[in-house]
Amino acid sequence: MSAEIRIGTQGWAYPDWLGAFYPPGAKQQDLLPFYAEVFDTVELDTTFYGAPKPAIARSWEKRVPAGFRFAAKLPRAITHDALLRDAAPEFAEFLRALEPLGAKLGPLLAQMPAEFERTTENVAALRAFARLNPKDAKLAIEFRHASWHVPETWATLRELGLAVAWTSWRVLPHVSEVTADFLYLRWLGDRRDVTVFDRVQIDRSEEFAAWEPDVRRALPEVREVYGYFNNHWAGHSPASANEMKERLGLVAVDPKARWRQGEMW
């Protein structure tokens, strides 16, 4: 495979993971270091609600090894409130807040709201916002309105160097276009289907089988792949992430094999 593949989860701090992924009784400060023993990337969901304080970003950076990568969702103030318009100050503040992550910062994600349709005005807003993105930053965009799923959109994203997020979410049409030199994959599911996150509760075998060939086909076209599972996709995102890793020929780490002696009971 020509691309470097990183598969992880959306967030890491879930009480239901104690005794299923984390050792029983694990302390809050130990969760991220343990997570980084199993996966080499995570999508930060907290950044959707606001830029982190630099001290928090520094603490994240210190708790993971050099090869780890954080993906960060843009704040909703940019994507949902401003709809990418006149967001230069907020975006600059967000980038400054993430500076302590250094080389461990991976791609950024603009998760757009479902009502963000493809219109002349919104295409213009996307173009203007893309010009704010630093040249060395990877930016992916998730469209939740099917009006964007047209060849003109893919051409625009290729021109701007943005990756379209391949997303499994409710009835959103499946996208498998390559528009940048990296892939950004998201498996979300439906929040109404799962309420506890300690085990797999939905059989996603058919969906896995459908995704795998599309990802494999795209590998020669990109340098990196970032993929993230939500608990709502099948019930327990670490198990889903490890299954996808195995399907793609990567080494999956059994979290319970990393439990220290004395932490298992």
Residue 263, in any domain of the structure: no
CA distance 150 to 174: 12
What b/e string do you get for 33-70 counting C-beta neighbours within 10 Å, with b at 16 or more? ebbbebbbbbbbbebbeebbeeeebeebbebbeeebbb
Q: What is the CA radius of gyration of the chain?
A: 18
Residue 264, in any domain of the structure: no
Structural domain boundaries, residue 140: 4-258
CA distance 22 to 35: 8
Nearest one of 262, 242, 258, 240 to 250, comparing CA atoms: 242
CA distance 143 to 240: 23
How many domains are contained in the chain? 1
Long-range contacts of 205-213 (CB under 8 A, 24+ apart): 207/168, 208/243, 208/244, 208/247, 210/174, 211/168, 211/185, 211/187, 211/244, 212/244, 212/247, 212/248
Per-residue pLDDT of the chain (265 residues; tens, 9 = 90+): 479 999 999 999 999 999 999 999 999 999 999 999 999 999 999 999 999 999 999 999 999 999 999 999 999 999 999 999 999 999 999 999 999 999 999 999 999 999 999 999 999 999 999 999 999 999 999 999 999 999 999 999 999 999 999 999 988 888 999 999 999 999 999 888 899 999 999 999 999 999 999 999 999 999 999 999 999 999 999 999 999 999 999 999 999 999 985 444 3
Cα–Cα separations (whole angstroms), residue 45 to 52, 108, 134:
11, 11, 21
Using CB atoms within 10 Å of the CB of residue 113, give its burial: 0 to 12 exposed, 13 to 18 middle, 19+ buried.
middle
Kindly state the DSSP code that residue 248 receives in the 8-state scheme: T
CA distance 38 to 20: 13
Residue 241, in any domain of the structure: yes
Residue 265, in any domain of the structure: no
CA distance 184 to 166: 6
pLDDT of amino acid 206: 96
Residue 201, in any domain of the structure: yes
Nearest one of 132, 134, 42 to 90, comparing CA atoms: 132
Count CB-CB contacts under 10 A for residue 160.
17
Residue 144, in any domain of the structure: yes
pLDDT of amino acid 265: 36
pLDDT in tens, 33-50: 999 999 999 999 999 999
CA distance 242 to 97: 31
**Angle at CA 233, nearest 5°, toward 216 and 27?**
105
Domain CATH code at residue 144: 3.20.20.410
pLDDT of amino acid 233: 96
**Whole-prediction pTM value?**
0.96
Residue 229, in any domain of the structure: yes
Question: By 3-state DSSP, what share of the chain in percent is helix, strand and coil, each rounded to 5?
Answer: 40, 20, 40
- What DSSP element (H or E) covers 52? none
| CA quadruple 245, 6, 44, 111: dihedral sign | negative
pLDDT of amino acid 219: 97
Residue 140, in any domain of the structure: yes
